[in-house]
Amino acid sequence: MRKRLFLPLATLLSISLAAAASLDFLGPKGTYSDQAAQLAAQHYGLTVGQTLPTITAVSTGVAAGTSPYGLIPNENSAGAFVAETSGLLAKGDPGWRVVGELTLPISNTLLVKPGTPASAVTTIISHPQPFKQSAAYLAANYPNAARQEVSSTAAAAEAVSKGDGTSAAISAPAAAGVYGLSVLAADIQDDKNNATSFWVVQRAGQPWTVTVPNHVLVMLDAPAGSPALGDLLSRLRSASFRPRNVQSWPLGGVLGGYRFVVALDSDTGIRLTHVQQQVAAVKGALLLGAYRK
C-alpha cells in the first residue's frame, strides 16, 4: 500500500496565512511536480499557479518575486538529489527560503501510443531521474532501446504522443490521460517504495511561516581549514537537531574549501529565534530553510 501524504496541522495553518497565494511549479501538466503541486496547494492553503519549463525557472521566479511560492523537487529515494536543484544550490544563496516539504510516492509508468506493442519500442524518452529509478527494469526489458532525455516526464509523454509509434515514455500515470497514451507497463521503478521530496519555497527576506521548526536547512561556506562545519553541527546538536543529510561542492581556489547544505531534524523542534542565533554565530552560515516536517 502506498503511503499517503501527511502534513502536520501546525505547518498547514502557518502557510495557509499566505491568503491563497499561488504556487508555481515545473510543468507541463501531467508531471510528478504537477501532482505534488495539487497536493501542496490543497494542504498549504495555496492556489495552483502556473507551470514553468524548468526547475531553474521556478527558482528564478520565486527569487525575483514574480512567483509568490514555488515547488522545487529536492531528493529521490532511488535517484538521490535532483541534479538541477543541487546545481542551483552549488552557486550559493538561491534567493529563496524553504518553508515546507512534502513527499510524493513515485510510480514510473511506461506509456505508448495506443496499439503499440513492446516489440515496436526502439526509443525510450524521459527526464533523467526516471532513467536512474528504472535502470534495472530497462536493462532487463529494453537493453537495446535508445535513451532520450527531456526536461520533464510530461514532455516525454507529449513527444511520444506526436511520434511514429516506436517510442515509449517513462512518465507519471496521470500523463496517459493528458496525452492520450496507453500504459504498456506500470510501476517499473526498481525500488517499489520510490518517493521524491519537494520543497515549498518563498522569496528570501519574507517572514518565516513557523515559530518552532523541527527541520532546518543551513547553507555554509567553509574555506580550507575552517572549523565552521563542526561548529555549526555542534551548535545545532545542542539545540536538539541531528544531521539528516549533507550536500557539498568545492568553493574553488584553494583545495579543501567547500559549500555545504546541511539538513537537520529534531523530534520536538525549537524556537526559530534560537535556531537563528545559533546559525548567525557561525561565520559563512545562512539559514536556508525552517519548517515543521
Q: What is the CATH number for 135?
A: 3.40.190.10
Whether 170 and 280 map to the same domain: the answer is no
Contact 90, 248 (CB under 8 A): no
Q: How many CB atoms sit inside 10 A of residue 72's CB?
A: 24
Contact 62, 95 (CB under 8 A): yes
Whether 101 and 121 map to the same domain: the answer is no
Whether 143 and 241 map to the same domain: the answer is no
Strands 96-105 and 146-149: unpaired
287 is a domain residue? yes
DSSP for residue 192: T
Q: Provide the residue-wise pLDDT of the chain in tens; the chain has 293 residues.
A: 444 444 443 344 344 445 569 999 998 888 889 999 999 999 889 999 999 989 999 999 999 999 999 999 999 887 789 999 999 999 999 999 999 999 999 899 999 999 999 999 999 999 888 999 999 999 999 999 999 999 889 889 999 999 999 999 999 998 999 999 999 999 999 988 889 999 999 999 999 989 999 999 999 999 999 999 999 999 999 999 999 999 999 998 888 899 999 999 999 999 999 999 999 999 999 999 999 98
Phi and psi at residue 161, to the nearest 5°: -65, -25
Q: Which residue range(s) make up the domain with 253? A: 215-291
Looking at the structure of the chain, the number of domains it has is 3
46 is a domain residue? yes
Q: How far is CA 69 from CA 11, 18, 91, 152, in A?
A: 15, 9, 21, 20
Whether 140 and 160 map to the same domain: the answer is yes
Whether 113 and 102 map to the same domain: the answer is no
Q: How far is CA 166 from CA 114, 119, 159, 175, in A?
A: 11, 9, 11, 18
Whether 95 and 119 map to the same domain: the answer is no
